[in-house]
Structure 1
Amino acid sequence: MRKPLIVLLIVVLAVLYSSLFVVQEGQRGIVMRFGKVIRGTDNKPLIYTPGLHVKIPFIESVKTLDARIQTMDNQADRFVTREKKDLIVDSYIKWRISDFGRYYLATGGGDISQAEVLLKRKFSDRLRSEMGRLDVKDIVTDSRGRLTTDVRDALNNGSAGSDDEVSTPAADNAIASVAKRIENETSDHTQTINPNSMAALGIQVVDVRIKQIGLPTEVSEAIYNRMRAERESVARSQRSQGQEEAEKVRAQADYEVTRTLAEAQREALIIRGQGDAAAAKLFANAFSKDPDFYTFIRSLRAYRNSFKNNQDIMVLSPDSDFFRYMRPPTNLKR
């Protein structure tokens, strides 16, 4: 008897365990019965909030959806501005599920990849249209924050039809078709939702951010080449000005050297002339007192300058007046 009771108790505990399920914080649960979603009176899927819940074991299963903010990192793409200039824009989107029933139906069972495909398509078209209305200066300056805000609001609220200056018909038609299918599956028409907004898919865009704005490779290379040419032109101009200033300084220095040397030479000649004049005056004063002695001194100097070594030869008559001081004193001519 005890063994069947134990088996029965185990079966009861297994059934009880399989009939309970827990939805974690940051998640929402959708219960499916035989693979079909359990719906409420308005034909919308029943959403289970975080906590402990009960389901029919072995018949019903639970599908959980992430209620946290998701990040979709977009691949850098090329956009054209109002000036017909290309820009490479790298961006990302923060989004979360606002209506879990709509989201589940729109994505074919909560497939996040389908949601991001629709969101990326709408975002890319809207950002391309918004950037096509702005200049490069407006995009990279203060208008950049306004640009992302406008794109976020347009994703959440959708376009206003003919009143909206920016239209994204391809993305709007894709979202509208999914929203139409959701409306056909449900019977709640009390809330009016723009069929070309992300709210029609149960998605709320929390934030849109542009990480980087750059130029295409070919444009960047052309700009760098132009900047390099401009810098080289400035460098050549600076070098030319430097060489010109160097020539001026060098010419001024040469002029100063030449002028200084000329003045020094003039002063030297003046001083030498004054010295020679003073010496001549002294000699004249000294020799005027004894002319014979002056004549004798001059002759000795002439002898010294004429006979510098033993090999010097002078051919003159012995009776020449040049040798009068070499003859005996008795033959000196006064």
Structure 2
Amino acid sequence: MFRIAAIAIAVAALVVWMSTFTVDERERVIVFSLGEIKRTDLDPGLHFKFPIVNNVRKFDARIMTLDIPPDRFLTSEAKNVIVDFYARWRIDDVGQFFRATRGDERNAQDRMAQILRDGMRNEFARYTLDQVVSGERITIMGAVREQALDTARELGVTLVDVRIRRMDLPDEVSESVFSRMRAERERIAQDFRARGQEQAERIRADADRQRTVIIANAYREAEQIRGEGDATAAAAYAAAYEQDTEFFTFYRSLLAYRNTMVGKDNFYVLEPDSQFFRYFQDPMGMGRPREQ
């Protein structure tokens, strides 16, 4: 009896195990009934099935990465570009995915890779090499994704994103491109230098003009001040001369003696009756020098 009970419990456990299955929130599930799709996209948790009649296929519902080998694409200038890109995708309609690919993820990836290559080829043919290198890649990737969305839906998947990982030029193209880029940069640099020199000349000319104007104004003011000073000095001399004419004359003669009689070996050739010696003969300066 004990053995029969144990066998019955084991059979019941086996039946229960074969009649139940669990669904993880990271999975998409298809329940088949005699090879035909019965149910899809079950909620996460514990579910029941009929043993032998039903079987279950599970697929990853997370976002997956499709790495596409680098390939060559022609630009509108018929120049080759080697592009390494990838795509992110996930299964959206698991029933349609199974019908389109028989549940083979590799088959789905191959078909999506071909679709994306065709889209890349079409988009790169619309742009020049400079546009592709300088910043049109985001536009290209968006267009490729939009073109591939309808085909991806036919596979039961959602194309989340398409990104370029790396973009290189073939060796035969790289040197010519770099030479053209160097020439372009040199042209831009020369243009900036020319503009800088023009601006520098303009600044120097303006500075020279301002300098000339400032010097002229300063010279004019200096001459004006000097004239006013000379006029004031002349007025002071005239006023002093009018106060004591004889003393002023005597003082000027002393200044002349001091300024001319300097040193020991000075010689002067003057007439004896010159007014220069008037105060030597007459302290009052009224007489004339005696003849020698």
TM-score in terms of structure 2 length: 0.62
- CA pair 292-330 structure 1, distance change in 2 beyond 3 A: closer
Using the alignment, how far apart are the partners of 2:146 and 2:234 within structure 1?
102
Q: Provide the C-alpha distance between the structure 2 equivalents of 1:218 and 1:265, rounded to a whole number of angstroms.
A: 69
Which residue of the partner structure matches residue 217 of structure 1?
A: 168
How far apart are the structure 1 equivalents of 2:58 and 2:265? 130
Q: For residues 145-182 of structure 1, give each alpha carbon's deviation from its aligned partner in whole angstroms, at most 9, with x where no partner exists.
A: 531223325xx3xxxxxxxxxxxxxxxxxxxxxxxxxx
Contact kept in structure 1, 2:31 and 2:57, CA below 8 Å = yes
Paired residue for 1:13?
9
Work out which structure has the larger RCO, using CA pairs closer than 8 Å and 6 or more positions apart in sequence.
Answer: 1
* More displaced 10-residue stretch of structure 1: 71-80 or 250-259: 71-80
| 8 Å contact from structure 1 (residues 45, 101) kept in 2 | no
Q: 1:117 & 1:48 partners in 2: Cα distance?
A: 23
Cα separation, 1, equivalents of 2:30 and 2:141: 41
**C-alpha contact 1:93 1:205 (8 A) present in aligned 2:** no
Is the CA contact 2:141–2:162 (under 8 Å) kept in the aligned structure 1? no
Q: Secondary structure at the match of 1:216?
A: strand
Does the 8 Å contact 1:79/1:128 carry over to 2? no
Are 1:255 and 2:209 matched, yes or no? yes
Residues 205 and 72 of structure 1: CA distance in aligned 2, closer, same or farther (over 3 Å): farther
Structure 2 counterpart of 1:24, from 22, 25, 29: 22
CA contact (8 A) 1:79 1:88 kept: no
Answer yes or no: is 1:122 the counterpart of 2:74. no
> Unaligned regions of 5+ residues in structure 2, if any?
41-46, 128-135
In structure 1, distance between residues paired with 2:199 and 2:31: 83
Alignment of structure 1 residues 69-218 onto 2, 5 Å: 69=61, 71-77=63-69, 78=71, 80=73, 83=76, 84=78, 86=81, 87-95=83-91, 97-98=94-95, 115-134=104-123, 135-136=126-127, 140=140, 143-153=143-153, 156=154, 204-213=155-164, 216-218=167-169
How many aligned positions are there? 255
State the percentage of identical aligned residues: 25
Q: Give matches, 1:237-316, under 5 Å.
A: 237-273=191-227, 275-276=229-230, 279-280=233-234, 283=237, 287=241, 295-307=249-261, 312-315=264-267
> Unpaired runs of 5+ in structure 1?
31-38, 157-203
Q: CA deviation at 1:97?
A: 4.1
- TM-score norm. by structure 1 comes to 0.56
Which amino acid in structure 2 is aligned with residue 269 of structure 1? E
Cα distance in 1 between the residues matched to 2:285 and 2:62: 140
> Secondary structure of 1:133's match?
helix
